[in-house]
A and B are shown apart, each in its own frame.
Chain A
Amino acid sequence: MAKSPQTRSATSATSGNKAPAPKTKATSKSVRRVPGRPPKNIPIETPDTDSLLGLYEDMLMIRRFEEKAGQLYGMGMIGGFCHLYIGQEAIVVGMQSVSREGDSVITSYRDHGHMLACGMTANGVMAELTGRKDGYSKGKGGSMHMFSREKHFYGGHGIVAAQVPIGAGLAFSHKYRETGGVSLTYLGDGAINQGQVYETFNMAALWKLPVIFVIENNQYGMGTSVTRAAAGRALADRGKAYGIPGMQVDGMNVLAVREAGAEAMAYCREGKGPYILEMQTYRYRGHSMSDPAKYRTREEVDAMRKQRDPIDALREVLIAEGIENDQIKAIDAKIKAEVTQASDFALASPEPDPAELWTDVIREGGVI
């Protein structure tokens, strides 16, 4: 059985020679005991209540959206591959909450959560999942291939790890054009073993590119547990040879993600080069909708859901902060309505016009 993420908050995982050693996070400050749950370390600088509510709402939106996508997939309304983000919501929500307008985001095919967190509409994402004309890619990209230039979301890439050098290229552009932006380049514990990741680490470190490599270690690359796929030490250390600082982070705790993210952002924005954050997380669902998940036990999944769920944890924090249960329920209801509306929209949107088959292959405007 694969080991569950045990890391508490953001803990140091690297002690590289020249790389600035990430500080070990305070573990005694702001610790809140939540009855019936294992102790969690709520990091220092706890956001104000409104911010906490915002984080809660963003995570819940992704959760409910993905649950709905799973339902629509079961009904045959979504085809092909569909990789759900349920369980990992704290990562992208936490990172987006410490990013700035203009920072770019790129990820793999488990991308619905990232798009919603970037501010792309649930309607547009869901309509793409159902292959309709109102989808972000006019129905031509599907679950794994969606983009929004306006929201600085650069996909949505179906080839494991191909997004990593592309993400470094976005960082290269930020540096070249002196935008001050950072590239948030997400990859999984499967992608981390691809050769192009290390080609990218080398160039990013060599040229001090402003890129944060966010490794979403959900413990399984499809059916292969990380312990069966990855030799050596923590994935956060994979950049050590290049002098890239790395940090293991409790990816089930949105506040821990925020804190680590803020540190990495500051490092990148100061022009010091890339940073690696290994988010220890867990996906509740299979690799894709067609995954029977025989490689892990139901008990393991249930234990994670019951003890480590990022949304439940934040709800406890909100209650501890004095938020009324009714207020939380109102958010739940609002989100549910939004997702239902997005589903209705996606199912009502027409299929793309057959003429769209031939558009967007080549862009006009070259020398004629």
Chain B
Amino acid sequence: MSISITMPALSPTMTEGKLAKWFVKVGDTVRSGDVIAEIETDKAMMEVEAMDDGVVTALHAAEGEEGIAVGTAIADMEGEDDASLAVSAPDQAPTPTPDQAPTPTPAPAPTPVSAPVIAASEHLSGHMVSTTVREALRDAMAEEMRRDENVFLMGEEVGEYQGAYKVSQGLLEEFGAKRVIDTPITEMGFAGLGVGAAFGELRPVIEFMTFNFAMQAIDQIINSAAKTLYMSGGQMGCPIVFRGPNGAAARVAAQHSQCFASWYAHCPGLKVVAPWSAADAKGLLKAAIRDPNPVIFLENEVLYGQSFDIPDTDDLLIPIGKANIVREGTDVTITAFSIMVGKALEAADKLAEQGISAEVIDLRSLRPLDIDTILKSVQKTNRFVSCEEGFPFAGIGAELSAQVTEKAFDWLDAPPKRVSGIDVPMPYAANLEALALPQVDTIIDAVLEVSYQKERG
């Protein structure tokens, strides 16, 4: 009986990985539970165990091989009962074979991970390097910590574990335990402690493992961090960054998959930032750390591993509150933030094939909101579609639609249209999850609707 061993998924959003090390060779006899290989992604490392007793008959991946898709066969075994074992020669140049193992149907990736092309931007010039969003965030923190000794990072698993999503990789080593502080699992406590440290002249960067857990701390964020400047008549600034992944992850269901952009954007006293590209992630995080106000910095787990070209400089600062036109167009204005920017750009590509020229605006900051850039665009295109992953009711799109209607009514050729997650808690099942989240086609349909090329849904 031949058994195929496939590349396992280490996390809900992992799509590929590296075969770091083989612990077996062809011909070895293994027992169920024996470690046969070590695999690695950009954020984690894991041992692969044999699931049956038998003899290794083939290895399909070489040590050190990267980019092996989840589900790809990496080794074959013959079950123990098989008396005559046909041992094949090890593959010298293994080529990934299609997944033949009876593994569950892989979840449809919630978003494409192909690196989108960025349109011309005022911030991208000079020598460029390919950087992941994850590295960009880490570099931003490291640079600001080198610049200002009062900047420190605090959160769960940020130190010795190198970050639950490996965002803080290497920071403990460089800055030590005084400035890279592992906390107990105690969101409200360390959020409040961070606020106190900010009152006490420090510059805390507080990481939430995800923003879902920040709900335990939201009183400290709103009532203590956001309001105290006002309540103190301007005496008590609270320069603090609350950062971490936000929005839908993959297959983690309702409590771990939600966009909080509109929750925080609702509150005066906060700045709310949600970058998409690596350059924005870096430049905006550096700006957030230097900002004298509390900044909610919404990252996205799915984006962490995506690479973008960013300027090779440690002085990349992007002002908070300025949107970025990532694709120019004439027929419709599409706004998006965070991961939805990538989807909006994909939609714009497909719309171009249909002869529709879409302008895509990356909001980057939700509070303050760069409404001027949006209005200027709408006055040119006369059509408006907003995109977000969050719930529709009282969402970011609701606010944008209201402002566009109030301020650019006479320029609109069609009512604004909101693209959003649907109005239900996030389901677990792969098909239902895909239906709950806005997809590229959802954006295309919305654009066709406001262009009167499709019935309004």
CB within 8 Å of B: which residues of A? 104, 106, 135-141, 145-149, 154-159, 162, 164-174, 176-177, 183, 195-196, 199-200, 202-203, 206, 359-368
Q: Is B201 an interface residue (CB 8 A)?
A: yes
Q: A176-B178, A203-B193 are in contact. Are A367 and B291 (CB under 8 A)?
A: yes
Flag if B231 contacts A363 (CB, 8 Å): no
**Interface bits B188-230 vs A (CB < 8 Å: 1, else 0):** 1111111111111110000000000000000110011000111
Q: What distance in Å separates the Cβ of A134 from its nearest Cβ neighbour in chain B?
A: 10
Are A367 and B232 closer than 8 Å at their CB atoms?
no
A206 touches B184 (CB 8 A): yes
Is there contact, CB below 8 Å, between B193 and A363?
no
B152 at interface by CB-CB < 8 Å: yes
Which listed residue (A140, A170, A359) contacts B199, Cβ 8 A? A170
Residues in A with CB closer than 8 Å to B235 are 136-137, 147-149
Which residues of the other chain, A, contact B268 by a CB distance below 8 angstroms?
Answer: 361-362
Q: Which residues of chain B are near A147, meaning CB under 8 Å?
A: 228, 231-232, 235-236
Q: Please give, as numbers and ranges, the residues of chain A lying within 8 Å of B189 by CB-CB distance.
A: 165, 168, 196, 199-200, 202-203
Rounded to whole angstroms, the CA-CA distance of A272 and B429 in the bound complex is: 52
How many residue pairs at the A-B interface have CB separations less than 8 Å?
170
List 6 additional A-B contacts (Cβ < 8 Å) besides A169-B199, A203-B183: A137-B235, A158-B223, A168-B189, A177-B150, A202-B186, A360-B234
**Inter-subunit contact B191/A165 (CB<8 Å):** yes
Known: A173-B202, A367-B290. A168 touches B232 (CB 8 A): no
Closest residue of chain B to A201 (Cβ to Cβ) is: B189
Q: A200-B193, A367-B291 are in contact. Are A176 and B152 (CB under 8 A)?
A: yes
Residues of the A chain whose Cβ atoms lie less than 8 Å from the Cβ of B186:
199, 202-203
B364 lies within 8 A of chain A by Cβ: no
Q: Which of chain A's residues have a CB closer than 8 A to the CB of B236?
A: 147, 149, 154-155
Query: B232 to A166, Cβ gap below 8 A?
Result: no
Number of interface residues, chain B, beta carbon within 8 A: 49
Instruction: Pick from A104, A157, A169, A361 the residue with the most CB of B within 10 Å.
Output: A169
Assembled-state Cα–Cα distance A206/B193 (Å): 13
A176–B233 touching, CB < 8 Å:
no
The answer to whether B237 has its CB under 8 Å from any CB of chain A is yes
List of B residues within 8 angstroms of A361 by Cβ:
229-230, 268-269
Q: Is the CB of B193 within 8 A of A172?
A: yes
Residue of B189, B197, B228 contacting most chain A CB atoms (<10 Å) = B189
Q: Is the CB of B230 within 8 A of A140?
A: yes
A137 touches B229 (CB 8 A): no
B200 touches A173 (CB 8 A): yes
B320 within 8 A of A: yes
CB atoms of A162 and B224 under 8 A apart: yes
Q: Which of B124-166 contact A (CB under 8 A)?
A: 150, 152
Contacts of A136 in B (CB 8 A): 232-233, 235
Nearest chain-A residue to B234 (Cβ)? A360
A138 touching B233 by the CB < 8 A rule? yes
CB distance from B145 to the nearest CB of A (A): 13
Q: Which residue of A lies closest to B194 (CB)?
A: A169
A168 to B184, CA, bound (A): 15
CB contacts under 8 Å to A, within B243-273, are 268-269, 271
| Given A147-B236, A203-B184, also A137-B231 (CB < 8 A) | yes
Q: Name B269-319 residues within 8 Å CB distance of A.
A: 269, 271, 286-287, 290-293, 317-319
A176 and B197 contact, CB distance less than 8 A: yes
Q: Are A366 and B291 in contact (CB under 8 A)?
A: yes
Contacts A169-B193, A177-B201, A363-B293 given; indicate if A199 touches B188 (C-beta within 8 A): yes
